[in-house]
């Protein structure tokens, strides 16, 4: 028998926001997206989360992602993520998730982040958490720019395919492995391991967890890394419900209006 691993979804499971939408403001600032793109992206993600297991929904989300990113310079995206990671992501890491990741690592299990967000975003977030193994969406690149094609879309059953490949490569025993997610769209991921857990679950996943007697965890304490290190032991894994939405899009739209107003104001 092989050893087990722990597979964590990212958005609303490890961090208290959407990793893709979190970088909307700097992408907008650097001219990669428009305000209309921000709203459409938020809507596309919401639709995916509400019906993400539907093949047509996943295909539409994947195709929209490819079209949106076509022509972007890969190095520019990586630079934006590196420059804004500690501001936009670090304060929103759930202390409960960080503690749970550390518990699995202390038990000798590899921890893997599994996210539909792009590898250029997920991998640096993993490094922030001390996690080196990542399964994420990969975009095709030509001459240093995204070509408009998706090499691998890490969503739904595709997550399970990647987990299976990694398990075969590393010798993981999936029956002795763990998986955590907040979304019903990750039902295939949760069902492929012996120890599935719903974290801050949406309504459909909560119902599924109850039907299958899966553990349900509620994380609600996003705490910056520096503060976690100062205040060990971390917040216990337990707690209360957290309401989530797409308010980030409103914040980005406000930022755009504020920036234009500031630019248009006459100098003293």
Q: Do you find a cis peptide bond into 203, omega within 30 degrees of 0?
A: no
pLDDT score at 219: 96
pTM: 0.78
Question: Each residue of 122-166: pLDDT tens digit?
Answer: 999 999 999 999 999 999 999 999 999 999 999 888 999 999 999
Residue 3 has pLDDT above 60, yes or no: yes
The active-site residue, picked from 11, 182, 186, 202, is 11
In a domain, 158, yes or no: yes
Domain assignment present for 263: no
Q: Encode pLDDT of 20-47 as tens digits.
A: 777 878 888 888 888 777 777 666 666 5
Supply 249's token pair. Answer: 């899009």
Which residue is it, tokens 């609600």?
Answer: 220
Residue 159: inside a domain, yes or no? Answer: yes
In a domain, 240, yes or no: no
Domain presence at residue 238? no
State the residue range of the domain holding 170: 5-231
* Structural domains in the chain (count): 1
215 part of a folded domain: yes
Q: Is residue 133 part of a domain?
A: yes
Residue 210 lies in a domain: yes
CATH number (domain holding residue 164): 3.40.50.1000
Residue 11 appears among annotated catalytic residues: yes
pLDDT, residue 63, reads 81
| Mean predicted lDDT score pLDDT of the chain | 81
Given the residues 9, 119, 182, 186, the one annotated as active site: 9
């Amino acid at each position: 028998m092989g050893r087990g691993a722990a597979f964590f979804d990212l958005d609303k499971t490890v961090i208290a926001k959407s990793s893709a939408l979190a970088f909307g403001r700097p992408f907008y600032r650097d001219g990669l997206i428009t305000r209309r793109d921000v709203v459409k992206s938020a809507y596309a993600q919401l639709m995916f989360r509400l019906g993400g297991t539907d093949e047509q929904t996943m295909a539409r989300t994947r195709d929209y992602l490819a079209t949106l990113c076509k022509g972007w310079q890969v190095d520019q995206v990586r630079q934006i993520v590196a420059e804004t990671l500690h501001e936009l992501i670090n304060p929103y890491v759930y202390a409960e998730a960080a503690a749970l990741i550390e518990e699995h690592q202390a038990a000798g299990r590899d921890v893997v982040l599994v996210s539909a967000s792009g590898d250029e975003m997920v991998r640096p977030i993993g490094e922030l958490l001390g996690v080196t193994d990542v399964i994420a969406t990969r975009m095709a690149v030509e001459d240093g720019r995204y070509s408009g094609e998706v090499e691998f879309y890490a969503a739904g059953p595709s997550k399970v395919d990647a987990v299976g490949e990694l398990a075969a490569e590393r010798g993981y025993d999936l029956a002795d492995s763990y998986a955590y997610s907040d979304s019903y769209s990750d039902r295939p991921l949760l069902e492929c391991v012996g120890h599935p857990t719903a974290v801050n679950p949406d309504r459909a996943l909560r119902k599924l967890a109850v039907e299958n007697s899966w553990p349900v965890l509620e994380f609600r304490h996003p705490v910056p890394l520096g503060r976690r290190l100062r205040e060990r032991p971390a917040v216990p894994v337990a707690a209360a419900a957290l309401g989530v939405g797409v308010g980030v899009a409103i914040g980005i739209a406000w930022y755009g209006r504020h920036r234009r107003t500031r630019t248009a104001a006459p100098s003293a």
